[in-house]
Amino acid sequence: MDSSALTRFEAAVLPHLDAAYTLARYLVRNEHDAEDVVQDACLRALKYFDGFRGEGETSARAWLLTIVRNTAYSRKGRRRVDALTTEFDETQHSDTVVDEHPEGVLLQEDAKETLGRALDRLAPEFREVIVLRELEGLSYKEISEVAGVPVGTVMSRLSRARTRLQEALRNEEGS
């Protein structure tokens, strides 16, 4: 790779480093791991940059966030994103909005649960749509590209995640 190609890559990708770091922070929930995820993701992005340039429709930010997301998931030992999609899309699995931590179930009843903790407790598939929408301001279409699910799924996940956060907020106010 010549230096001008690297310069082009840096110009396209580095402006989105805050967004990348924010997503990584909320996905891995740890500063140190989040930094590693962002660095790995940037290296991956560099490798695939030529492939990206032809795609047009996807913004560089959504593209980088896709790689950050996949890097974070593979780091967490998640098998395949597809498997998670099937698992969490079913409406009968609505309980799974809450993460797999056993104590999460208890905290659901905890009146003192804060909004931030409630977000933390969401299953990653729900947490990420909140972060991508509320903090990164991505469109549903972009979120669907990043998360690799249809727009309709983005819509329902976002709504269920919000309902969950709203319960936490209500409990907070009631306490």
Nearer to other proteins, 98 or 102 (CB): 98
Nearer to other proteins, 57 or 102 (CB): 57
DSSP for the chain reads --HHHHHHHHHHHGGGHHHHHHHHHHHH--HHHHHHHHHHHHHHHHHHHHHHHTT-SS-HHHHHHHHHHHHHHHHTT---HHHHHHHHH-GGGGGGGB-S-HHHHHHHT-TT--HHHHHHHB-HHHHHHHIIIIIT---HHHHHHHHTS-HHHHHHHHHHHHHHHHHHHHHHHH-
Q: Nearest distance from residue 26's CB to other proteins, in Å?
A: 9
Q: Nearest distance from residue 141's CB to other proteins, in Å?
A: 9
Nearer to other proteins, 59 or 102 (CB): 59
**Binding positions for other proteins, rule: CB under 8 A:** 1, 3, 5-6, 9-10, 14, 17-22, 25, 35, 38-39, 42-44, 46-52, 54-55, 66-67, 70, 80-81, 115-116, 119, 130, 133-136, 139-140, 148, 155-156, 158-159, 162-163, 165-166, 169
Q: Nearest distance from residue 170's CB to other proteins, in Å?
A: 8
Q: Nearest distance from residue 100's CB to other proteins, in Å?
A: 21
Q: Could you give the CA distance from residue 59 to residue 87 in angstroms, rounded to a whole number?
A: 28
Nearer to other proteins, 110 or 120 (CB): 120
Nearer to other proteins, 49 or 88 (CB): 49
